[in-house]
Structure 1
Amino acid sequence: MEDSETIEKTPILNSKTVNPDTKFNKNDQIIDSEIIFEFGGPWGVTAIMFGFPTLMFYLWGCLQFYHGHLISPFNMELWSQIVEGATPTWYSTKVYILFCLFEFFLAYSMPGPIIKGAPVSSLEGKQLDYLCNGLISWYATLVISYLLHYYGWFRLTDIIGNFGPLMTVAVITGFTVTLLIYVITVIQGKQYRMSGYLMYDLFMGAVLNPRLGKVDLKMFAEIRIPWVILFYVSVSAAIKEYEMFGYVSSSMCFMVLAHFLYVNACAKGEECIPTTWDMSYEKFGFMLIFWNLAGVPFTYCYATVYLHITSIDNGQPLQHSAYWTYFCYALLLSGYYIWDTANSQKNRFRMIRNGTYIPRYTFPQLVWGTLKDPTFIQTKHGNLLLTAGWWGIARKIHYTADLMMAFAWGFITGLNTPITYFYPVFFLIVLVHRVYRDMKRCAKKYGKDWEEYCRQVPYIFVPGIY
């Protein structure tokens, strides 16, 4: 979650210059250093750390072995099937680890613009440099994967064929990296905003801005791993479907398109990430590490897994009526348009004001992605609250659009299993929690100015409704 409609106070500069004297509000340091127990505190996060991976295996087992039906979690036969089907192999370990190392190599070595991040409270307002080479790294990944598949060095169909073992490797990696980052941080004495409760600090993290060379590990984990894997799970299932039936169904094409749009958006807009609240406030703990290394890529893909398993069980791909298919595509593409342009408006507004905006003309550039002479509220705190474009319609319009896409991912699978709706329902819960955190923080940060902002933009998600 980020302080999503605000930008740091800086003068307007040439778009290719960086302001070295960005002012920093000391009150931010006080607010950002406060320890606030979330997710039920130490006991709650402990339950999440062990309960969520268990849920991942359970839901996958129901998809893989019981056609998406929810079997009793106390069914021992189910768990024996899960253990047998998800036991990690040397091959799955090699594939996952080499992929992560390859993406790190690209993040470290590929060229790209260097963007200043938002002022960091723990560093007395210092702005860190971020190498943003996500787009060229994404294209390089596409080319290399095509060559590996074409020449038979690594068949992309092996991804969906080894889904269970790959998921287990990702889960183990998530726990391992969490422990390593925590221990190294404490040894180096770089821990920040610690609660004093071990499990809570493991979950929320100990370090704020971990780096390995010039690669920011937090941004790397958030952008380079989860969405790319998610996309390749769908590509793998689509290729497998083509090999089995000689064509790819409209439902599977939908999932490939949906996941391509998402990962491509993350790559083409990577330069917007350094100024977000995630980078300047959230610490790098289990919450971010596990979620990005294992949670996102191996739970957000349940729709793809269901379509794949169903095609095998039924001897043909799952197809819907033309009207239902058109509806799903329309919901996806309209949601994507709002989501892409809303995020573009916000971040370009912020970057232009900060003097960090660099026009890149990456694909696709959508109409209304940049606001001309936008309206905003100048707060006494020093920040600006955007009230133009999509942000004058609803305060969290980008979340609404994100949910439109999320539910479209579920709708394309039909209504035969609730498991394919795990992502949109879970995502809805996450976003409501994010909004609560954001509203509470902003009210404290901006006071009367926030009240005026809420008066001018009264709706949060849906204009005229809520």
Structure 2
Amino acid sequence: MSQAWDLMGNSHQSGFSPDFHIPYGTQQASQESSAGTYFGSMTMPTVKYQKGDTVMGRWPGSSLYYEVKVLGFDVQSQRYTVIYKDGTELELREQDIKRAAGFQTRSRSRSRSQSPGRRRSRSRSPARTTRRSSSRTAAAVAAAAITDSAPSSRRDIKLKDTLEVRLSPLQQTKAAENNSNNKHEKKEEKQKEENNTASKVNEKIEAKADAEPEKNQGRYNLRRRKDDGEGKPEVQQEKEVKVAAPAPAATPSTPLDFGGKIGAYFWLLFLPAWVLFVVLQGDLEDPSLTNFPPPLPPLEAFWDPQALGFVVLWILFQVLLYILPVGKLSEGMPLRSGERLKYRTNGFFAITVSAVAVVAAVHQGVDLTYIHSRFLQLATATFLISVLLSIYLYIRSRYAAPEQRALGGNSGNVVYDFFKGRELNPRIKSFDLKFFCEMRPGLIGWCLINFAMALAEMKQQELDAPSYSMILVNLFQLLYVVDGLWNEEAILTTMDLMHDGFGFMLAFGDLVWVPFTYTLQAYYLVSHPNPLSLPAVAAILLLKLVGFYIFRKSNSEKNAFRRNPSDPKLSHLKTIPTATGKSLLVSGWWGVVRHPNYLGDLIMALAWSLPCGFSHLLPWYYMIYFVILLVHRDSRDMSDCRRKYGSAWDEYCRTVRYRIIPRVY
């Protein structure tokens, strides 16, 4: 149940990630970032093509070359990020890129007269575009695929339409035969026959090239969208000028999130302040927002060594459960280097043992209402630990290898990189710090705090059992967490694990934000009970089950499809292919709205808030926050996916019209 926050976490499983912790199931992993920056001290290689250059890029898996624009160069992967005319962004190797000049027709030494009576040669296949034959032997000629000027034409064939030509860039010595015999052709019937013959030969060449793509890497198929001119282009020789790469530290590897560098300062101050506000406001006798701001207690009220010791022992206990050789060793998704890390996914075992330990402690007389009475001190102690962990993570990231760094956390700005996280998967031997924090101390601690609040309500309100409202909040959120830990392997496909660095954002989100803000409903009910009738309990329970069903089914479809799209069990699902080689799912729940898991999350969030009634706005904080969070996340996903998938994403949006709520939004 990880309802991670999405500023902190847009993690599907609980973690955090940029946006502020989205519950674990709501996150959709994004595609890999297309650019990276290396901040090492090693000598930088020269870069052949510069940002903004217009060149010819080979379409992956084919011999087709199309016009592209260079967006940047990733020193780590030694690949160029380019964008095609339809908006698709891909990463290409240097050998898959050619200068535009290399595709322009070379000028002929012999002049050829123009015959206005020439007819176009036509391909026999209606699916083919009109071609221009270089000669009766069909030797390929170069075409200018970027400029609108038309390549020089043979006397016997003259085209003004869209055309497709073949190029053998390194084998031009046999480019053409002597065409002097074409100068005195007399009859139009003969011309047509010769043109058709040339077309046949061209088709044979194309078939051979398609059948042997690897063997014929020298041939490229260029399709021009428009041919306005007919004059010969000027002869341009490809010149390779190697220019020293600019200092990577000066340019961010990916667009900066959350307001960029200024935003990092804001969130570093706002997030702790908001947690403090929630704790202090919820403790007031009248938590109405008209009493804002809540009075600040004396400084000594923030600190309690016993609270710090309690938090440290809790984290160490979860560390012990994590490293035990119990549970499955799961493989993560491939990293940029191709490596797949292994993770011990025993979260359900951890929460089960934790529950047994808590029950045993209560049976032995341990007063867990201490958690309610020292809530502020516990939050302060956890905040201190998250800051110390973030400092450690930033220092160790300075020594991490380039391939171990996250693309989004290497801007060169200390504050932003500290906030976002620089190292992708920091590990102490096989102990993965990010994976552990995402799913264990804060997430299981969320359930522990809720249980303590139920005991505190009984003690403060002098009840023999928790109220219906407290029971519903505890059960609903416990189900969410248990479901997340049972399906813990799903978090390995989320943005948190695959793309986000581990820094203050995730550390604070996992350890502080989740356990001390997601427990607000239970914390509120301790001092502000809200009696519920049995019909109200039944209605709220039904709402929760509907939301959970949508949430679980949609996430199961997504995770199964993401891990193995060719699974025969998924053969009934409809998809839209993209240029990246991946497909967009437009079937099942994902054919109803673009984010059905968000819809399920919102319904569950509503069910969590209803038990608190309508007397105050504070317990509805989670619902309000979550609506803003998911709308922002949806907007972010739309922008990223349109950039990565190009025209395929536009088709997807036409197929699935609504974003989160059918016929509403």
TM-score of the two chains, using structure 2 as the length reference: 0.60
Against the structure 1 CA distance between its residues 388 and 230, is the aligned structure 2 distance closer, same or farther, given a 3 Å change threshold? same
- Residue number among 556, 566, 581 corresponding to 1:382 in the alignment: 581
- Residue number among 407, 415, 433 corresponding to 1:199 in the alignment: 415
* Residues 242-391 of structure 1: pairs in structure 2 closer than 5 A: 242-243=458-459, 244-310=462-528, 317-353=529-565, 373-391=572-590
Rounded Cα–Cα distance in structure 2 between residues aligned with 1:371 and 1:267: 24
Rounded Cα–Cα distance in structure 2 between residues aligned with 1:215 and 1:140: 20
Against the structure 1 CA distance between its residues 424 and 371, is the aligned structure 2 distance closer, same or farther, given a 3 Å change threshold? farther
Report how far residue 372 of structure 1 moved: 6.3
**Residue in 2 that maps onto 1:437:** 636
Structure having the larger proportion of residues in helix: 1
Does residue 259 of structure 2 align to residue 40 of structure 1? yes
**Residue in 2 that maps onto 1:174:** 386
**Residue in 2 that maps onto 1:112:** 327
Rounded Cα–Cα distance in structure 2 between residues aligned with 1:26 and 1:348: 32
Contact 1:63 1:69 in 2 (8 A): no
What secondary structure is seen at the aligned counterpart in 2 of 1:115? Answer: strand
What secondary structure is seen at the aligned counterpart in 2 of 1:206? Answer: coil
TM-score of the two chains, using structure 1 as the length reference: 0.84
Report how far residue 250 of structure 1 moved: 0.6
Rounded Cα–Cα distance in structure 1 between residues aligned with 2:561 and 2:406: 31
**Residue in 2 that maps onto 1:452:** 651
Report how far residue 139 of structure 1 moved: 1.2
Rounded Cα–Cα distance in structure 1 between residues aligned with 2:290 and 2:397: 42
Does residue 281 of structure 2 align to residue 68 of structure 1? no
**Residue in 2 that maps onto 1:399:** 598
Corresponding letter in the other structure for 1:235 = F
Against the structure 1 CA distance between its residues 72 and 249, is the aligned structure 2 distance closer, same or farther, given a 3 Å change threshold? closer
Against the structure 1 CA distance between its residues 74 and 390, is the aligned structure 2 distance closer, same or farther, given a 3 Å change threshold? closer
Corresponding letter in the other structure for 2:411 = S
What secondary structure is seen at the aligned counterpart in 1 of 2:283? Answer: helix
**Residue in 1 that maps onto 2:616:** 417
Give unmatched runs, 5+ long, in structure 1: 9-24, 311-316, 358-369
Report how far residue 276 of structure 1 moved: 1.9
* Residues 44-193 of structure 1: pairs in structure 2 closer than 5 A: 44-70=263-289, 78-80=295-297, 83=299, 85=301, 87-121=302-336, 124-152=337-365, 154-188=366-400, 191-193=405-407
Contact 1:5 1:385 in 2 (8 A): no
Contact 1:230 1:298 in 2 (8 A): yes
What secondary structure is seen at the aligned counterpart in 1 of 2:423? Answer: coil
Report how far residue 408 of structure 1 moved: 2.0
What secondary structure is seen at the aligned counterpart in 1 of 2:628? Answer: helix
Against the structure 1 CA distance between its residues 188 and 450, is the aligned structure 2 distance closer, same or farther, given a 3 Å change threshold? closer
Rounded Cα–Cα distance in structure 1 between residues aligned with 2:91 and 2:650: 21
Q: CA RMSD in A?
A: 2.6
Contact 2:576 2:585 in 1 (8 A): yes
Rounded Cα–Cα distance in structure 1 between residues aligned with 2:305 and 2:446: 21
What secondary structure is seen at the aligned counterpart in 2 of 1:38? Answer: coil
Report how far residue 288 of structure 1 moved: 0.9
**Residue in 2 that maps onto 1:232:** 448
Does residue 32 of structure 2 align to residue 4 of structure 1? no
Corresponding letter in the other structure for 1:133 = N
Against the structure 1 CA distance between its residues 35 and 6, is the aligned structure 2 distance closer, same or farther, given a 3 Å change threshold? closer
Corresponding letter in the other structure for 1:143 = V
Against the structure 1 CA distance between its residues 69 and 412, is the aligned structure 2 distance closer, same or farther, given a 3 Å change threshold? same
Report how far residue 115 of structure 1 moved: 2.1
Does residue 436 of structure 2 align to residue 220 of structure 1? yes
Contact 1:115 1:129 in 2 (8 A): yes
What secondary structure is seen at the aligned counterpart in 2 of 1:130? Answer: strand
What secondary structure is seen at the aligned counterpart in 1 of 2:576? Answer: strand
What secondary structure is seen at the aligned counterpart in 1 of 2:584? Answer: strand
Q: Percent identity?
A: 30
Structure having the larger proportion of residues in strand: 2
**Residue in 1 that maps onto 2:246:** none
Contact 1:403 1:427 in 2 (8 A): yes
Corresponding letter in the other structure for 2:370 = D
Larger Rg: 2
- Could you list the per-position Cα deviations for residues 143-182 of structure 1 after superposition, in whole angstroms to 9, with x for gaps in the alignment? 1222122123x43332223211111111111211111111
What secondary structure is seen at the aligned counterpart in 2 of 1:385? Answer: strand
Contact 1:6 1:386 in 2 (8 A): no
Rounded Cα–Cα distance in structure 2 between residues aligned with 1:159 and 1:175: 21
Corresponding letter in the other structure for 1:413 = C
Rounded Cα–Cα distance in structure 1 between residues aligned with 2:604 and 2:377: 28
Report how far residue 354 of structure 1 moved: 7.9
Corresponding letter in the other structure for 2:492 = P
Aligned residue pairs: how many? 423
Report how far residue 204 of structure 1 moved: 0.7
Rounded Cα–Cα distance in structure 1 between residues aligned with 2:275 and 2:31: 37
What secondary structure is seen at the aligned counterpart in 2 of 1:131? Answer: strand
- Structure possessing the higher relative contact order (Cα contacts under 8 Å, 6 or more residues apart): 1
Against the structure 1 CA distance between its residues 30 and 171, is the aligned structure 2 distance closer, same or farther, given a 3 Å change threshold? farther
Corresponding letter in the other structure for 1:171 = F
**Residue in 2 that maps onto 1:365:** none
Report how far residue 125 of structure 1 moved: 2.9
Give unmatched runs, 5+ long, in structure 2: 1-9, 12-26, 33-78, 82-88, 93-251
What secondary structure is seen at the aligned counterpart in 2 of 1:377? Answer: strand
Rounded Cα–Cα distance in structure 2 between residues aligned with 1:183 and 1:318: 48
Contact 1:118 1:276 in 2 (8 A): no
Report how far residue 430 of structure 1 moved: 1.9
Report how far residue 284 of structure 1 moved: 0.9
